[in-house]
Amino acid sequence: MIPEQSASQITVSEDPLCTEPRLTSFDSSLTPVDLFFIRHHFSDVPKLDAETWTLSVEGEVENSLSISYQELLTLPQRTLPVTFECAGNSRVAMSPPVEGVFWGNGAVGNAEWTGVSLRDVLNQAGIKNTVKEIFFEGADSGEEEEQGLKFDLSYSRSLPLDKAMHPDTLLAIRMNGESITPDHGYPIRLIVPGWYGVASVKWLIKIRALDRPYQGFFQTRRYVIIKEGEDKEQPPKPLTAMPVKSLITQPRRGKVFFPGENVIQGFAWSGEAKIRRVDFSTDGGKTWVKAQLDEAPSDYAWCPWSFRWKVSKPGYYMLAARATDESSNTQPLSGVWNYRGYAINSIHMVPIEVAHHVRMPGESLPWEP
Amino acid sequence: MIPEQSASQITVSEDPLCTEPRLTSFDSSLTPVDLFFIRHHFSDVPKLDAETWTLSVEGEVENSLSISYQELLTLPQRTLPVTFECAGNSRVAMSPPVEGVFWGNGAVGNAEWTGVSLRDVLNQAGIKNTVKEIFFEGADSGEEEEQGLKFDLSYSRSLPLDKAMHPDTLLAIRMNGESITPDHGYPIRLIVPGWYGVASVKWLIKIRALDRPYQGFFQTRRYVIIKEGEDKEQPPKPLTAMPVKSLITQPRRGKVFFPGENVIQGFAWSGEAKIRRVDFSTDGGKTWVKAQLDEAPSDYAWCPWSFRWKVSKPGYYMLAARATDESSNTQPLSGVWNYRGYAINSIHMVPIEVAHHVRMPGESLPWEP
């Protein structure tokens, strides 16, 4: 079943459903639910009912638990604005092209998530000191093909214990103040701030404490960086935190500006550090000037930036934005090609045209009669 | 009106209709009509009737003519296998992305065209010695936007006199031995061997001899190379002959091979010269070996090539093919970015995986129970 879809998003894949908004529709720092990208992994969206839903907590724990939605509501709540993107966002920029959902640049969003610290629930269960990782399973499942063989799988991922125990890692109940919609993980979604969206398991139904690293499909065969020429004997590492990145949201590529002042806008974020600055270029990255940076609403949320560009000369320009974070990480001109096209944080460029504002004396367009 | 479309092609644009076959469906040197890419410029496909169709020949000529389909059939006929591609083919490889129909690599085909030498008709009309170019108009027309203004335009292009007078420039009546289909220019299509498809005007209805260069929309605003940073005062030059290029048609990207011998296939062509050699790489162009090259059926047709690749080591490989023509032109690793994404002949790369053919002793896939 394909759920109803917002007309304001582009369908990047029909089955499983994947949608992204146009970058030019990002006009405020908080992304409305109907403009938030959707990345499903299987055909069916789980139909869960908060009344009957339970979350089991099991494995290497003192007390296995089964928690109801009502119980979660009684625990202390936190609210955090969190930006995350799909690990395959901007895949369209990877050349040669790779397999995978062919995302443009819109598979990123910034929403306000409200819920219970995962730590509070894990402490209630009592984590044994043998535990290395916490495993999470969603209610979504389906078939995946690998090396010519087919497997029935549930969507599942794990976190190292320290990230799971961080107070900001949430069992989220609300998105932008409302119940989470079915497309975004109703009733409960794990939220792992600073990490790629892949970690924030939707339709969460099971937590298991493990005394060993989890080797699941979405952790060893997908959402891992495999470089060209890589040997198959080397087990790849799962993706974790998002590197520093920025996007230009205004103008869209191909826009025609006129001489005068034109406003350029965008967002910048970094999973593990605050954004220190954003630089802006009109010549494809040869020269840079500092853009105006707004304050982010939280350490995990993107910073809006803008630039008032005064241009007088008609011609063709390549706009570019480059963010730098407080750990001095910055964006590469082009990223390292990898087999599945993940973790692309190369500088976003937008080609535009500056036309004559009015016809020059004697000027006519050449195909006019 | 959108015409019926072959299920074996991908719709790249719905309006105007643009379709391309999957590269893996190119399995012979002559492209069947239902696998030949379609590039319309306007919503409507002209509905012409060969019984009533006429071609006017006018301008700087001794005798203006109006030629019927029946008259064309009585003139001497030539048959030529001709490869041409859309000037925007492979635009998907251009990063940052540009405006325009977002072609993969399939907007290229090799068909056998039969018709009358344009020269015979021009000689009949008598070209005056003031003539510099020959102008061609198709029956297709519609609206285009430019610098915020809208224009009603017919599709039209010109050729320099020497190219128009070349005996291989045809008024084509047949494609692969049959009447040309409406999508490909019925009843008569200009065929300009060696040049991008843009020159081969479909639904041809008018020829005009000009004593000056033609400055039409599809010749000065489209199908021209505009580089980043280009000044608007410099009039760009229209695209003409296709540069040397090759494509890998087998395997598709993401294919899983097994150790042993695997066959790689593709085509190579160059508008102005014969293909001298094709080199093949399994490491993304770091090292090359010579591929097997078949003879092209004509100087204007692509050469099939193949390579029998013996591989023993499981891993991830980047296949690449590079053609060189008899004028020693070869393909660049990456092309020069240009504002509309034209004339992309950079080396085609296809990432693939070589898996273990059988499970190794003790091996299990990590997500298996």
A119 has a chain B CB within 8 A of its CB: no
A-B C-beta contacts closer than 8 Å: 145
Residues A219-243 have a mean pLDDT of 88
Nearest to A284 among B93, B228, B253 (CB): B228
Q: State the pLDDT at residue B359.
A: 65
Using the predicted structure, report yes or no on whether residue B301 has a pLDDT greater than 70.
Answer: yes
Question: At residue B71, what is the residue type?
Answer: E
By C-alpha distance, the chain A residue nearest B219 is: A367
Q: State the pLDDT at residue A362.
A: 65
Q: State the pLDDT at residue B3.
A: 38
**Are B96 and A227 within 8 A, CB to CB?**
no
Q: What is the mean pLDDT of chain A?
A: 92
Q: What is the pLDDT of residues B109-154, one digit of tens each?
A: 999 999 999 999 999 999 999 999 999 999 999 998 877 778 899 9
**Are B368 and A151 within 8 A, CB to CB?**
yes
Using the predicted structure, report yes or no on whether residue B222 has a pLDDT greater than 70.
Answer: yes
Residues 1-60 of chain B with CB under 8 A from chain A are none
Least confident of A59-63, A144-148, B118-122: A144-148
Q: What is the pLDDT of residues A108-136, one digit of tens each?
A: 999 999 999 999 999 999 999 999 999 99
pLDDT greater at residue B366 or residue A307: A307
Residues A306-325 have a mean pLDDT of 96
**Are A148 and B93 within 8 A, CB to CB?**
no
B237 has a chain A CB within 8 A of its CB: no
Q: State the pLDDT at residue A236.
A: 81
Q: State the pLDDT at residue B153.
A: 93
**Are A230 and B95 within 8 A, CB to CB?**
no
Q: What is the pLDDT of residues B156-176, one digit of tens each?
A: 999 999 999 999 999 999 999
**Are A96 and B351 within 8 A, CB to CB?**
yes
Using the predicted structure, report yes or no on whether residue B367 has a pLDDT greater than 60.
Answer: yes
Least confident of A19-28, A300-309, B32-41, B83-92: A19-28
Q: Which residues of B touch A151 (CB under 8 A)?
A: 365, 367-368
Using the predicted structure, report yes or no on whether residue B100 has a pLDDT greater than 90.
Answer: no
Using the predicted structure, report yes or no on whether residue B358 has a pLDDT greater than 60.
Answer: yes
Least confident of A5-9, A178-182, A295-299: A5-9
Q: Which residues of A touch B97 (CB under 8 A)?
A: 92-93, 104, 253
Residues A334-350 have a mean pLDDT of 93
Q: Are strands B256-257 and B18-21 parallel, antiparallel or unpaired?
A: unpaired
Q: What is the pLDDT of residues B12-67, one digit of tens each?
A: 999 999 999 999 998 778 999 999 999 999 999 999 999 999 999 999 999 999 99
Q: How far is B54 from chain A (nearest CA, A)?
A: 24
B95 has a chain A CB within 8 A of its CB: yes
Q: State the pLDDT at residue A361.
A: 64
Least confident of A288-302, A309-323, A324-338, A349-363: A349-363
Using the predicted structure, report yes or no on whether residue A1 has a pLDDT greater than 50.
Answer: no
Confidence grade of residue B357 (pLDDT, cut at 50, 70, 90): confident
Q: Which residues of B touch A99 (CB under 8 A)?
A: 253-254, 351
The percent of residues above 70 in pLDDT, for chain B, comes to 95
Residues A337-352 have a mean pLDDT of 95
Residues A181, A185, A190, CA angle at the centre, nearest 5°?
130
CB neighbours of residue B32 within 10 Å? 16
Q: State the pLDDT at residue A286.
A: 95
Nearest to B229 among A227, A316, A348 (CB): A316
Q: State the pLDDT at residue B99.
A: 80
Confidence grade of residue A211 (pLDDT, cut at 50, 70, 90): very high
Q: What is the pLDDT of residues A238-247, one digit of tens each?
A: 999 999 999 9
First to last CA, chain A: 54
Residues B333-358 have a mean pLDDT of 91
Using the predicted structure, report yes or no on whether residue B218 has a pLDDT greater than 50.
Answer: yes
- Of the candidates B182, B165, B76, B176, the residue with the CA atom closest to the CA atom of residue B122: B165
The percent of residues above 90 in pLDDT, for chain A, comes to 80
B369 has a chain A CB within 8 A of its CB: no
Q: What is the 3-state secondary structure (H, E, C) of chain B?
A: CCCCCCCCEEEEECCCCEEEECHHHCCCCCCCHHHCCEECCCCCCCCCCCCCCEEEEEECECCCEEEEHHHHHHCCCEEEEEEEECCCCCHHHCCCCCCCCCCCCCCEEEEEEEEEEHHHHHHHHCECCCCCEEEEEEEEEEEEEECCEEEEEEEEEEEEHHHHCCCCCEEEEEECCEECCHHHCCCCEEECCCECHHHCCCCEEEEEEECCCCCCHHHHCCCECCECCCECCCCCCECCECCCEEEEEECCCCCEECCEEEEEEEEEECCCCCEEEEEEECECCCCCEECEECCCCCCCCCEEEEEEEEECCCEEEEEEEEEEECCCCECCCCCCCECCCCCCCCCEEEEEEECCCCCCCCCCCCCCC
Q: Which residues of B touch A256 (CB under 8 A)?
A: 147-148
Q: What is the mean pLDDT of chain B?
A: 92
Q: State the pLDDT at residue A38.
A: 98
Q: State the pLDDT at residue B366.
A: 66
By C-alpha distance, the chain B residue nearest A218 is: B367
Q: State the pLDDT at residue B5.
A: 44
pLDDT greater at residue B250 or residue A95: B250
Confidence grade of residue B1 (pLDDT, cut at 50, 70, 90): very low
In chain B, the domains with their CATH numbers are 9-220 (3.90.420.10), 245-354 (2.60.40.650)
- Of the candidates B132, B210, B197, B200, the residue with the CA atom closest to the CA atom of residue B171: B200
Residues A61-87 have a mean pLDDT of 97
**Are B97 and A92 within 8 A, CB to CB?**
yes
Q: State the pLDDT at residue B4.
A: 42
B149 forms beta bridges with B146
